[in-house]
Amino acid sequence: MSGLHRFDPAVAERALAWVTDRIERGAPLGSTASRQELDDALATPSVTRAGLGLDEAWRRFADVVAPATVGLNHPRFLAFIPAAPSPSAVLMDAMVSAASFSAESWLEAAGAVHAENEVLSFLAELAGLPADAGGCFVSGGSAGNLSALAVARDHRPGRPAIAAASTAHASVANTARLLGCPLVDVPVDERGRLTGPELAVVLARHPEVGAVVASAGTTNAGTVDDLRGVADACSPTATWLHVDAAYGGAALLVPEARHRFDGIDLADSLIIDPHKWLFAPLGSCALLYRDPRLARTVHAQEASYLDAIRADDAWNPADYGYQLTRRAAGLALWFALAVHGVEAHAAAVRRGIDLAQAAARLVDQLGAPLELVMEPELSVVLFRRTGWTDDDWRDWSRDLLARGIAFVTPTRWRGETVGRLVFLHPDTPDTVAAEVLASAHSSERGA
């Protein structure tokens, strides 16, 4: 056996201890560093002909690389869209890596694909899609949007344009560019939502639109578009409706939030990212089609070396997304659901909604100079701070991270820089919102 592939108990001991400690005690919040600081800390090359050996390589990782990286799964990570994978999901993901399960075809991964399909069927039923809906797992929401809209383009010939609101995920505009599809903007309401009436006007003016993207939980504000109205506007012209529920779709698990998603069952395609609010590790997006046969005509790849995977009853995930080789990313959620059940996941999602509601009430209680931008629908809270400049917001964000209080980043809402908190981790302490908001309320920056 070559030295490269020889099992080294010393490597395993350090790696397993690090992983176990991170899962058991929780990840540190981490920090950031400048390029110069990292250049100085890693002054000599890490990649050399002979290698550095375990001790020095481990030192560089443990003492330099890891501390300068912010963990998305920290309970005080309230920026962007966090991640909070459950220990069961993390450990299954590690086993998938150890086994090198490549789940692009039934032939080589029947067990894994069957398990993933069970999760896909569960999510399709949750959204109200037909029993024969199906798809695959891809690497993330961007890959899911690209795959779905490629199918929409090819099955609406002569209508290459995509209609979407400015509040849609950034990957939608990038997808349109990559696919060579014109992007038509649809005006939004006061909450930044795509609505049926506005869409109907746009579709009447732009008959070249063959697909519409609606958001079920926008990344910036956590709002859910008027899905029923959008579906009704799409229906007369058989315009393809793609629903990006990458972040918000998990809230379908919470009965009291389901009304916000009325109309999602009418989607032609749908994405939900387990690595966001379904507590799976990074790298998974559930991509679903109302009629998966349409996707197969677009994505199935042909080559002599792929003949072996073709069988009449084979469900090959690679036939439903643009990726060929892919890891069995859905196994982590499957295992966590099998271990803990649906209700445990629903309770964890509900916790994020409750934290957001509590934070909104705290903004109201603190009052000026803080003000709520809008009532939160899911788990994103936007608030403004009178008198602050962009520099004030950046300083505030950096100070909170430096003090280990939380990782938060400002955003823009209708041209105004505002504060943004995203609650996703069920173990986020009740006190965090108070600490963060009190620092913004009492700060004299910009005075």
pLDDT at 447: 42
* Domain final position from 308, 340, 372: 340
In the three-class reduction of DSSP (H, G, I as helix; E, B as strand; rest coil), residue 49 is classed as coil
Q: Give the dihedral sign, CA 120/123/129/131.
A: positive
Q: Which amino acid is at 135?
A: G
Q: How far is CA 433 from CA 362, 366, 397, in A?
A: 8, 12, 14
Look at the chain and report how many structural domains it folds into: 2
Per-residue pLDDT of the chain (447 residues; tens, 9 = 90+): 678 999 999 999 999 999 999 999 887 898 899 999 999 999 999 999 999 999 999 999 999 999 999 889 999 999 999 999 999 999 999 999 999 998 999 999 999 999 999 999 999 999 999 999 999 999 999 999 999 999 999 999 999 999 999 999 999 999 999 999 999 999 999 999 999 999 999 999 999 999 999 999 999 999 999 999 999 999 999 999 999 999 999 999 999 999 999 999 999 999 999 999 999 999 999 999 999 999 999 999 999 999 999 988 899 999 999 999 999 999 999 999 999 999 999 999 999 999 999 999 999 999 999 999 999 999 999 999 999 999 999 999 999 999 999 999 999 999 999 999 999 999 999 999 999 999 999 966 544
Residues 112 and 168 in one domain: yes
Is residue 305 domain-resident? Answer: yes
Residues 293 and 402 in one domain: no
Tell me the per-residue pLDDT of 315-349, one tens digit each, with 9 for 90 and over. 999 999 999 999 999 999 999 999 999 999 999 99
Residues 274 and 418 in one domain: no
Residues 370 and 412 in one domain: yes
Is residue 368 domain-resident? Answer: yes
Residues 352 and 332 in one domain: no
**DSSP notation for 264-293:** GGG-SEEEE-HHHHT---SS-EEEEESSHH
* Domain final position from 312, 340, 368: 340
Tell me the per-residue pLDDT of 201-252, one tens digit each, with 9 for 90 and over. 999 999 999 999 999 999 999 999 999 999 999 999 999 999 999 999 999 9
Consecutive H or E run containing 416 = strand 416-422
Residues 354 and 325 in one domain: no
Q: How far is CA 266 from CA 130, 230, 262, 310, in A?
A: 9, 10, 9, 31
pLDDT at 292: 98
Is residue 170 domain-resident? Answer: yes
Distance separating alpha carbons of residues 429 and 418, to the nearest angstrom = 23
List all residues 6 or more positions away from 442 whose beta carbon is below 8 Å from its beta carbon: none
CATH number for position 199: 3.40.640.10
Is residue 146 domain-resident? Answer: yes
Is residue 39 domain-resident? Answer: no
Domain containing 401 equals 343-442
pLDDT at 1: 67
CA angle 331, 290, 248 (to 5 degrees): 60
Q: Which amino acid is at 232?
A: D
Residues 336 and 347 in one domain: no
Alpha-helical (H) ranges within 284-389 are 292-299, 331-340, 342-366
pLDDT at 190: 97
Q: How far is CA 398 from CA 1, 82, 130, 392, 409, in A?
A: 49, 18, 47, 10, 9
Q: How far does Cα 161 stand from its chain's mean position?
A: 25
* Domain final position from 313, 340, 367: 340
What's the predicted TM-score (pTM) here? 0.97
Residues 423 and 406 in one domain: yes
Distance separating alpha carbons of residues 423 and 352, to the nearest angstrom = 5
Tell me the per-residue pLDDT of 161-186, one tens digit each, with 9 for 90 and over. 999 999 999 999 999 999 999 999 99
277 — alpha (psi -120 to 50), left (phi > 0) or beta? alpha
Distance separating alpha carbons of residues 431 and 413, to the nearest angstrom = 26
**Chain-wide mean pLDDT for the chain?**
96
Residues 321 and 359 in one domain: no
